[in-house]
Structure 1
Amino acid sequence: MQVVVLLVLAPRYGPHRDELYFVSAGQRLAWGYPDQPPLVALLARVSTEIAAYDLVVLRLWSILAMAALVLLAVEFARLLGGGRAAQLMTAVLVAVGVMTMTLGHWLVTATFDTLAWTAILVLVAHALTATGWRRSAAFWLAAGVVAGVGLENKHAVAFLLGGIVVGIALAPATRRVLLTPWPWLAGLTALALWLPNLLWQAAHGWPVLDLSGDIREEYGGFGGRAGYVVQLLILLSPVITPVWAVGLVALLRRPAWARVRPVGFAFVVVATFFLVAGGKGYYLAGLLPPLVAAGAVVVAERAPAIRWLSVRWLTVAMVLLTIPAWPINLPVLPAATYTSSFYAAAGDDQAATIGWPEYVAQVQAVIDGLPAEQRRTAVVFTTNYGQAGALEWYGVGVPVHSGHNGWRFWEQPPADASPVVLVGFERPDGFFRGCREMTRLRNRAGAENEEARAPVHVCEKASVPWSRLWHYDA
């Protein structure tokens, strides 16, 4: 059912600004980009080769990833001894979670980061509970391969691996595992698979560190830390949070689960690290499915002892209370209805998928209004990668450039490019000369996104080197 719903929703509204960026990156494949490793760009490239600029094909990877996430959560419940009721509860709650549905709708790095974290935790749990060194070694090496692929999607996997090592050391039942070679061979396997991206980062001056600094600055204060906690608590759904909280406590306390206790410790360690260092709540998304599974096992065990409690009806109630939150990030409502509702105030990611064809048409009209000889030499320069990606996705017939993140390492405009169509610059006179504002972008749905009311200028040429216009932004 989850897959069906996501397939139905996939073509609604439009691409997310991050998806537009990944598609552009996929047309310029490399072993890395300043803000991400190459995996999602590669998936975007495969999708565009199959069906160019088709949202369903583009997002199919994410739909399959979240279906796999559900299966992994169920496997963890089974590993803990959960029966059919616990496994069904796990599957349903993980599948309908707001986070899961959102990540299944967009092709973004967080989707595959979440899948990689959960897969690593399940494989490590199998390795810690396996009988016989051959089975244990196989699970460790499988975890290393998944971690290596995950690191080629997002560097945050390294923090999970550190949390797992600390968790194993903290649990008396498992700390001797660190004296065996298998966890370390798994780590070396992951490092070997990560190496191409590390070499790319080193060759380009470690731009990921600059971006990480921006994130710490934005989310490191008291307000950022409070938002981190709140986001974590509502990530799946406020009504599902008690289930994974119960699961966390059980993982840390149940004697029968002593050998999988590092999973609980890993959550505590990594959650604390990001709280102190400054991070976003969704960084922990991949830790939650195993905790939900553990909580579902506890609830299923206790339900028969409480006369009025039924696992089936409790699960149904949580689903019914979770689905109303879907429109925050999912295109369930008509676009105009969404933008005029309270859902639009709950987050800005959904708004970032609305209006792109209109925006591109308005920029195209400015380009078409240029004299023929100017159209032959014109270039477009945008303030962010979403705008640049949209102009490539829908096409405007002239070269498109931007100074945002990965676009910094791609084609720069000629030093004497003229005229320059600027998108999103409120005050371009400090960087360009002879500028005239031609229009301001608008969308019929009334979405308040970064592009709404952004100015479009036509300038004679840049008055500073293009390198002055390049920037990183989280």
Structure 2
Amino acid sequence: MTASRSSIPAFATGPVAAIAAVVAAVLTALSGRYGFHRDELYFLVAGKHLAWGYTDQPPLTPLLTRISTAVFGSTPMGLRVVSTIAAALTVVVVALIAREFGGDRRAQIMAAGCAAISGFLLGVGHLASTATYDLLAWMVIALLALRLLRTGDGRWWIALGLATGIALENKYLVVLPLAALLIALLIVGPRDVLRSWWLLAGVVAAGLVAAPNLWWQISHDWPQLTVAGGISEDDGTENRIMFIPLQILQLSPFLVPIWVTGFLRMWRSPALRWSRAVALAYPLLCVVVLAVGGKSYYALPLLLVLTAAGCQPTLDWLAQGQRSVRRNLLVTGAVLTAVTSAIFTLPVLPASAVNFVIPINAEQGEQIGWPQLTSAAANAWQQIPAEQRDRATIFAVNYGQAGAIAKFGPAHGLPTPYSGHMSFADFATPRDTQTGPVLLIEQEPTPYYESRFGTCTPAGKVDNGKGVDNEEQGTLLTLCTGPAKPWSTLWPELRRYY
């Protein structure tokens, strides 16, 4: 074993921790600016129905949502405390990854800084989402994989397996980079790490941790595969077209030369020959994601690994030639990245100006207008005669609408909402005795649903009051005479997996 594989620099604990603290402070200060995201409203309800699995996800994110709101309050700020911590930890892990590549103190600080100003980390760190914890899990797994390859010590397979098992309890996407890494190891090596009983022990460890959710999926006929297939069929073409542009924009155009440098360094440097498989894993992963029509961010975390590898040669480049010019170029790029990342991923603009960023980051708009939707639903509900309301039902086409009414509806005297979307279909089912009117909440006229609820007439329309052109702006409120058949018979027809 060479010295380059057996030794690494000391960790820049203080500066890296300071950068992570700044990220946490910024996210905390802005966490309550707009409001809940549609997915967060869903997680709030899922957290009240804890299970080992859900139609569209494993159990970890709903569990963390419940913990965060129980400790810090059921507000956007309280909900996002755990995700803020996860984002700050991700910054630290990226710096540790730079250290694995032999990055000195300055390179580690730069890697932490690059992660901190990247649009992807700030965007997922602002919200409580599966992607938030998935990013941290990928970085931890990458760190452990690099430690395994650098040292050749097979015992790291155990830690890698445990981290993978935990990641699988949050999102199944982690199997994609792991599969890409294994294929890359078979192609370019070092293959000796695959000839170890520790690998089998790591697989067993991952399986044991992930077993509860895997069993839940098996016992429920793998609904998550149905969800994945629906997403690919619905958005696959658009995802493929936008894959490369979004890879660049969502992380930051400024970071492109750094992660390209990191890739070339890992591929060409004799001292980092042991890491070539990690470099090759990125293009292999991109091919897989493109083939299945997955979203661009499915491969994005590995770019942070490449960025970490590129920090040391970037600093070496700064020390050559026209130092002041190069330094000014780097500083200017970093400042522009921080500003643009904040504008496009954090709630820094007035809500009325969010339309400016929605074409790049639609998630900004999905945090606005939920109380207004609930108020509009309450007005429509009042159109039902009082003597019929105890048998009436609110049915929402998607889980964001249902989650909003579950959160804000009690203040308006609204009953429990129902939806057939994802696991909302399992949380609650209308009783067959609810034969009264149905308040149908639909983004646009949907004959499929309306035909199942008898005669339907318009009862209102949602206006978020900010002119934000998000998915729920203009949502229709439709009053129907009642279910066309008993709810128990109708319910399977109302399930929706994407």
TM-score normalised according to structure 1 size: 0.94
Following TM superposition, by how much is the alpha carbon of 1:219 offset from its aligned partner in structure 2, in angstroms?
A: 4.1
Matched, 1:146 2:163: yes
- For structure 1, which runs of at least 5 residues remain unmatched after alignment? none
- For structure 2, which runs of at least 5 residues remain unmatched after alignment? 1-21
Separation in 1, partners of 2:330, 2:25: 20
Following TM superposition, by how much is the alpha carbon of 1:241 offset from its aligned partner in structure 2, in angstroms?
A: 1.5
Separation in 2, partners of 1:103, 1:194: 23
Letter aligned with residue 196 of structure 1: P
The equivalent of 2:354 in structure 1 is 338
Q: Against the structure 1 CA distance between its residues 275 and 92, is the aligned structure 2 distance closer, same or farther, given a 3 Å change threshold?
A: same
Contact kept in structure 1, 2:399 and 2:422, CA below 8 Å: yes
Matched, 1:433 2:433: no
Identity value in percent = 35
Which range moved further: 75-84 or 91-100?
Answer: 75-84
Contact kept in structure 2, 1:11 and 1:55, CA below 8 Å: yes
Q: Against the structure 1 CA distance between its residues 219 and 345, is the aligned structure 2 distance closer, same or farther, given a 3 Å change threshold?
A: closer
Following TM superposition, by how much is the alpha carbon of 1:369 offset from its aligned partner in structure 2, in angstroms?
A: 4.1
Superposition pairs of residues 42-57 of structure 1, within 5 angstroms: 42-57=63-78
Following TM superposition, by how much is the alpha carbon of 1:261 offset from its aligned partner in structure 2, in angstroms?
A: 2.1
Separation in 2, partners of 1:232, 1:402: 34
Matched, 1:18 2:39: yes
Q: Against the structure 1 CA distance between its residues 227 and 391, is the aligned structure 2 distance closer, same or farther, given a 3 Å change threshold?
A: same
Q: Stretches of 4+ moved more than 4 A in 1?
A: 309-312
Contact kept in structure 2, 1:116 and 1:286, CA below 8 Å: no
Q: 1:273 aligns with which of 284, 288, 297?
A: 288
The equivalent of 1:70 in structure 2 is 91
The equivalent of 1:466 in structure 2 is 491
Q: Against the structure 1 CA distance between its residues 314 and 294, is the aligned structure 2 distance closer, same or farther, given a 3 Å change threshold?
A: farther
Letter aligned with residue 43 of structure 1: L
Letter aligned with residue 388 of structure 1: A
Q: 1:180 aligns with which of 192, 196, 204?
A: 196
Q: 1:97 aligns with which of 111, 118, 124?
A: 118
The equivalent of 1:255 in structure 2 is 270
Q: Deviations over 1:123-173 (max 9, x none)?
A: 111122227x4xx51x3211111110000100011112212222222234x
Separation in 1, partners of 2:465, 2:239: 33
Q: 2:322 aligns with which of 307, 310, 332?
A: 307
Separation in 2, partners of 1:267, 1:190: 22
Which range moved further: 448-457 or 150-159?
Answer: 448-457
The equivalent of 2:416 in structure 1 is 399
Following TM superposition, by how much is the alpha carbon of 1:329 offset from its aligned partner in structure 2, in angstroms?
A: 2.9
Letter aligned with residue 296 of structure 1: C
Separation in 2, partners of 1:311, 1:26: 50
Q: Against the structure 1 CA distance between its residues 429 and 272, is the aligned structure 2 distance closer, same or farther, given a 3 Å change threshold?
A: closer
The equivalent of 1:159 in structure 2 is 176
The equivalent of 1:423 in structure 2 is 441
Q: Against the structure 1 CA distance between its residues 369 and 107, is the aligned structure 2 distance closer, same or farther, given a 3 Å change threshold?
A: same
Following TM superposition, by how much is the alpha carbon of 1:430 offset from its aligned partner in structure 2, in angstroms?
A: 1.1
TM-score normalised according to structure 2 size: 0.89
Separation in 1, partners of 2:357, 2:471: 17
Separation in 1, partners of 2:149, 2:457: 66
Contact kept in structure 1, 2:439 and 2:478, CA below 8 Å: yes
Superposition pairs of residues 212-231 of structure 1, within 5 angstroms: 212-221=228-237, 223-231=238-246
Separation in 2, partners of 1:218, 1:429: 22
Q: Against the structure 1 CA distance between its residues 296 and 309, is the aligned structure 2 distance closer, same or farther, given a 3 Å change threshold?
A: farther
SS in 1 for 2:395: strand
Q: 2:143 aligns with which of 122, 134, 148?
A: 122
Following TM superposition, by how much is the alpha carbon of 1:356 offset from its aligned partner in structure 2, in angstroms?
A: 0.8
Letter aligned with residue 328 of structure 1: F
Letter aligned with residue 199 of structure 1: W
Following TM superposition, by how much is the alpha carbon of 1:95 offset from its aligned partner in structure 2, in angstroms?
A: 0.5
Letter aligned with residue 256 of structure 1: A
Superposition RMSD on alpha carbons, in Å? 1.8
Contact kept in structure 2, 1:92 and 1:315, CA below 8 Å: no
Contact kept in structure 1, 2:391 and 2:433, CA below 8 Å: no
Separation in 2, partners of 1:319, 1:155: 33
Following TM superposition, by how much is the alpha carbon of 1:328 offset from its aligned partner in structure 2, in angstroms?
A: 2.4
Following TM superposition, by how much is the alpha carbon of 1:57 offset from its aligned partner in structure 2, in angstroms?
A: 1.7
Contact kept in structure 2, 1:385 and 1:402, CA below 8 Å: yes
Contact kept in structure 2, 1:219 and 1:278, CA below 8 Å: yes
Matched, 1:350 2:364: yes
How many aligned residue pairs are there? Answer: 465
